[in-house]
Amino acid sequence: MNQNSVSHCFSNNFSFQIESLPFARIPDQSRIFIDYQKSAEALREYYPNAVDSHTQAAARIPEVLAGHKADRKLLCEALEDMNRGCGAGAPTFENIERLRQADCVAVVSGQQAGLFSGPLYTIYKALSAVKMTECLRGRGFNAVPVFWIATEDHDFEEVSRTFVLDRAGELAEVSNEPPRCHDNLPVGTVQLDQSIAQTVAELFDELSLTEFTPELRSIIEESWSPETYFGDAFAKLLLKLFGKYGLIILCPLDPRLKRLAAPVYVEAIEKSAEIVAALRKRSDELVAAGYHAQVHVAEDYFPLFWQASDKTRNALKKSEGGTFHTKDHSREFTLGELAEIARREPTRFSPSVVLRSVVQDYILPTVCYFGGAAEIAYFAQSGEVYRILNRPATPIFHRQSFTVVESRHRKTLEKFELELPDLFEGLENLLPGIVERFLNNDTARIFVETEEKINIELNRLDQNLAGIDPTLADNLAKRRRKIMHHIGALRNKFHHSEVRRDENVRRRLETMFGALLPHRHLQERTLNIAYFLNRHGPHFIDWIYDAIDLDDKAHRIIYL
């Protein structure tokens, strides 16, 4: 990382250093995401309204306002009710009043309703939307931040668990599985039972007791309580965390929002064949260009799910005869029947991943959306759905991305002269250098000298044998490899032995990896914010907000 990438941030009388790390230096990033971050406008073939800077998004406002046909009054009534029911504060209701105004646009982000808010990137998404809203307001535009909770999703496995660092600094998993959670129900309709109280207790058994623990526990217990729906618990916690920022939460399961979305459902049903053909063609184009198709679209794909009378969410598939059936074949429809049901009972449908953003941007006057790398990838496909349904494609920006390095882990990095990118090599690959440079340089030097001497003597022997019998020299080459292999294995055992001898070093390294690269992925994809709120208090949210720089498209490392 260049020193040019280092900056300092001051928040609540607390200062911290920030470094930028280009995503191209982080393993396992998709090519289309890297290219999009480099220049979104260069990919307008797939992202028609892409812009390279967040400041350019404001130019879309006239088009957004002219194209927004949904009933703002009904929209805001629904938002008022759901935010009031989840305990929103005055700033949120002030923003809903703003949204009633014909010149107001929405800066949108969203995520599945994860346990105790899920991974850190959920927090970063919400704060990115808030920061963008403030930027627009500062330039004289009327805007509000909206967080779309994906309560219609039915993969409970993805949201049922979360991770914190326990009292020993090690990664600890906490999970909850209420009744019927694996019955294909939309997450928003899964109801918590008494087991959630035990899960909250387990969470705080893992966390250290600090001055901030009582307040944090109270907030979580008030949000995640028995008889509360999973989506509502998630919403309640977000509103408590972002109360002063005026974040508006939106649950798409509300029947009034379904009525607003009905025209999109009907048109998507009627044009489903065209949508599927265009998506499949776009997938082929992406693959031919060296990218990947984020969403697999088969010939029998359908852009909406069917909500059965038992509340389960069921994929619809096209049959060879041209009808459409639920995946389990329990129901079958003609295209006309589906369109008519969507007009009369839009609550029976929910959009697939490629249609969801179009529905979202039909209901809301969306000026831009903040998503993750995977969302950016599938927007390259969903752009075709916008085109077919004659809707302007919304620009997507990558949410702010952070790794938070606490002082103890920063000291470990400094002690062993490491930077975050070095950790991508894995602890096993870093150990040899750490041992030989910092723990036992003398023995490491003897290994090097021994290998050199053996090679010198084997070279002398090789020259001599080559003159006697070439086959002997070939035999020596094979044995040389075995000799060096055995020395290498012994050297590896020496490395591990040194680390075992120094328990403190071993623990420092292992806990650092667990905190900064849990499960070998960026911290934000695993850790829950409860750990940091418990360690640093509610100001942690403000620190992250102040650290956001919408001009910086890199991954940002915050040193506390």
Q: What is the pLDDT of residues 150-203, one digit of tens each?
A: 999 999 999 999 999 999 999 999 999 999 999 999 999 999 999 999 999 999
Structure confidence at residue 467 as a pLDDT band (50, 70, 90): confident
CB atoms within 10 A of CB 496: 14
pLDDT at residue 388 greater than cutoff 70: yes
* Among 50, 51, 43, CA closest to 286: 43
- Bridge partner residues of 305 (DSSP): 315, 350
Q: Residues 332-344: what's their mean pLDDT?
A: 97
Structure-block tokens of residue 352: 């697939």
Which carries the bigger pLDDT value, residue 97 or residue 12? 97
pLDDT at residue 445 greater than cutoff 80: no
Q: What is the pLDDT of residues 355-377, one digit of tens each?
A: 999 999 999 999 999 999 999 99
Cβ proximity of 396 and 371 under 8 Å = yes
Q: Is 533 left (phi over 0), alpha (psi -120 to 50) or beta?
A: alpha
Contacts of 289 (CB under 8 A, 6+ apart): none
Cα–Cα distance measured from residue 75 to residue 77, given in angstroms and rounded to the nearest whole number? 6
* Among 519, 516, 553, CA closest to 33: 553
Q: What is the pLDDT of residues 399-440, one digit of tens each?
A: 999 999 999 999 999 999 999 999 999 998 888 888 778 767
Residue 283 corresponds to which amino acid?
A: S
Residue pointed to by tokens 């003609």 = 334
pLDDT at residue 8 greater than cutoff 50: yes
Structure confidence at residue 391 as a pLDDT band (50, 70, 90): very high
What is residue 312's predicted lDDT score, i.e. its pLDDT? Answer: 93
Contacts of 505 (CB under 8 A, 6+ apart): 434, 439, 499
Q: State whether the Cα torsion 506-512-513-518 is positive or negative.
A: positive
What is residue 487's predicted lDDT score, i.e. its pLDDT? Answer: 82
* Phi, psi of 559, rounded to the nearest 5 degrees: -100, 110
Q: Where are the beta strands (DSSP E) in 135-289?
A: 143-149, 161-165, 171-175, 248-250
Cα–Cα distance measured from residue 138 to residue 131, given in angstroms and rounded to the nearest whole number? 11
Structure confidence at residue 2 as a pLDDT band (50, 70, 90): very low
Contacts of 249 (CB under 8 A, 6+ apart): 82, 83, 86, 88, 146, 147, 149, 235, 238, 239
Structure-block tokens of residue 513: 């990896």
Cα–Cα distance measured from residue 391 to residue 318, given in angstroms and rounded to the nearest whole number? 25
* Among 68, 148, 128, CA closest to 397: 128
What is residue 1's predicted lDDT score, i.e. its pLDDT? Answer: 52
Cα–Cα distance measured from residue 409 to residue 515, given in angstroms and rounded to the nearest whole number? 8
Structure-block tokens of residue 120: 């850190």
What is residue 163's predicted lDDT score, i.e. its pLDDT? Answer: 98
Q: Residues 118-122: what's their mean pLDDT?
A: 98
* Phi, psi of 448, rounded to the nearest 5 degrees: -60, -45
What is residue 461's predicted lDDT score, i.e. its pLDDT? Answer: 85
* Among 499, 516, 520, CA closest to 433: 499
Structure-block tokens of residue 471: 């086959």
What is residue 437's predicted lDDT score, i.e. its pLDDT? Answer: 82
pLDDT at residue 102 greater than cutoff 50: yes
Cα–Cα distance measured from residue 482 to residue 283, given in angstroms and rounded to the nearest whole number? 49
What is residue 422's predicted lDDT score, i.e. its pLDDT? Answer: 96
CB atoms within 10 A of CB 158: 12
CB atoms within 10 A of CB 244: 14
Cβ proximity of 192 and 229 under 8 Å = yes
Rounded-to-5 percentages of helix, strand, coil across the chain: 55, 15, 30
Structure-block tokens of residue 275: 């949508």
Structure-block tokens of residue 412: 């470990």
pLDDT at residue 480 greater than cutoff 50: yes
